[in-house]
Amino acid sequence: MSSTRATLLVTLTGPDRPGVTSTVFAALAPHDVEVLDVEQNLVRGQLTLGLLLDPSSSTAEVEATLRTKADELGLAAAIEHGQGDNRARRSGRVSVVVLGRPVRAGAVAAVTHSISEHGANIDRVRRLSRDPVTTLELDISGADVPRLRRELALVATAHGVDIAVAPGGLARRGRRLVVMDVDSTLIQDEVIELLADHAGRGAQVAAVTESAMRGEIDFTESLHQRVAALEGLPVTVFDEVRAAVRLTPGARTLVRTLKRLGFTVAVVSGGFIEIVGPLAQELGIDHAHANRLEVQDGRLTGRVEGEVVDRAAKATALQRFAADAGLPLSRTVAVGDGANDLDMLAIAGLGVAFNAKPVVQQQADTTVNVPHLDAVLFMLGISREEVEEADLLDETTMPDRGSLRPRPEEEARPEGSGDESTDAHPPAAGDAAP
C-alpha cells in the first residue's frame, strides 16, 4: 500500500457485549474497506477496539457509518485521518514481565519510565495473572536485553516487585530446557537435614547448610561435614525421608505445564539421588543428577560416592542436558536459591533466583519472591488462563495444592505427603532419567 494513501485510525471504547466486533465489521463490509490492523482489549467489561482502515474512496461514508454504529452500540468513537500503514517496529524485541503481590502504580510508573529512558517503546501490554499475584507482560521494541536487565533490576529492588527481561519475538517461542535445584526450590525441605534428624544431629547440620547456601563456606567441604553426621543410619531411612518430603506449592503445575509445552525438564541437586531420583520419576521429570551416599552392610558410611555435585557440576549438567535435547544455552532456564546454583544460573539463557539468598538474587537475571514455584511460568510468558484451560481439558491432571491455579473441586493428598511411586529404586549412577 502506498505510504501516501489515506487511512482511518478508529478507536471505539465502552461497555462490552457479545457481538460488538462482528457488528462493527458487518457495518463496514458494504464499503469494501481494507482492514490493515485490529487490536482489541477488555478490562473489567470495558472494551477498547482499535482499527486501522483503508477506506478506499469512501472515507466520508465509512466515517459516518462508524459513528452511527458506535452510537447504536453505546460506544465512544475517536476517528483520526492519516496516511499509510503502521510504522515498522524497531529491532530489539524484548519481553518485560513484572510480577508482584501487589503491583502498585508506582512500580508500573518506574518500569515504564525506565523503558522510556532506555530509548525503547512499549508496543503492547497484557495481564498474565491476577490472583494471588499480579503479572503484567510488556512487549518492547528497540531495547538491549543485558542493559535493560541491569536498569530494571534497580527498579525491582526499589519497588518490591520481580522483573524478568528476555528476548522477544521468535526467541520467546519454541522448546526450552528448564533445570531446577531441588532443596528449597522444587521441595520445601533440605533433604540432608531430614536425614540428620534421624541421627539426632539436625540442628548441627542445618547450621552448616545455611552457611554454605549463603556462600560463606565451600560447598564440597560443607557436604562432607554434613554427610559425616549420617554415619550409621540404616538405608531404611530413605523411605522415611521420601515420605516426609514436601513439594513446593506449584511444583506439580510447573512441571506438568512445561511437559505439555514439549519442554525438557531436569533437576540437579547437591542432595542425594536416593531421594531425588524417585521424586523426579513421580513428577515425570526427564533428567535428575545428584550425589550418591555410600552404603555398606545396609548402613550409611558417612561418605559420598564419586565426585560431589557442586556449583560447577550443576552447570556442567545443564550443558549436558541442553546438548542431549539439541538446544543452545540461550534456550535454557535455570531456577535455584543457593550459592551453589550460581554457575548454572549464570550460563542459562534465563537464570531465576527463587526465594533465594541475597548473593543469588544480586547475580541472577531475575527473581521470584513469592512462595509459588509455578510463578516461573509467568516469567516465560505463559498466562494463568492458559494453564487453567489445559488442566480442565486433561481429566487425568493431578491436583497441586498451594499452586497459583488450584482446582478446589479436586480432593487429593497434600503435596509432599508421599506417593506409591516413591518406593522405586534410583539408578546406580548419580544421574536418573525417568
Among candidate residues 16, 54, 183, 365, the one labeled active-site is: 183
**DSSP conformation letters of 395-414:** TTPPP-TTSSS--TT---PP
Longest distance between any two alpha carbons in the chain, whole Å: 92
Known active-site residue 183: yes
Task: Output the 3-class SS for 62-77.
Answer: HHHHHHHHHHHHCCEE
Q: Are strands 162-167 and 134-141 parallel, antiparallel or unpaired?
A: unpaired
Q: Distances from the Cα of 133 to the Cαs of 73, 127, 161, 330, in angstroms?
A: 35, 11, 10, 27
Cell of 317: 549438567
Among candidate residues 181, 343, 391, 431, the one labeled active-site is: 181
Q: By three-state DSSP, how is residue 371 classified?
A: coil
Q: Distances from the Cα of 196 to the Cαs of 192, 233, 423, in angstroms?
A: 6, 9, 20
Of the candidates 399, 421, 178, 430, which has an alpha carbon nearest to the alpha carbon of residue 282?
421
Known active-site residue 181: yes
Of the candidates 23, 79, 88, which has an alpha carbon nearest to the alpha carbon of residue 53?
79
Amino acid residing at 213:
M
Q: By three-state DSSP, how is residue 98 classified?
A: strand
What sign does the CA torsion over 324, 329, 331, 334 have?
A: positive
User: Which DSSP helix (H) or strand (E) runs through 157?
Assistant: helix 145-159
User: How deeply is 38 buried, as exposed, middle or buried, from its count of CB atoms within 10 A (0-12, 13-18, 19+)?
Assistant: middle
What sign does the CA torsion over 182, 242, 272, 191 have?
A: positive
Which residue numbers are catalytic?
Answer: 181, 183
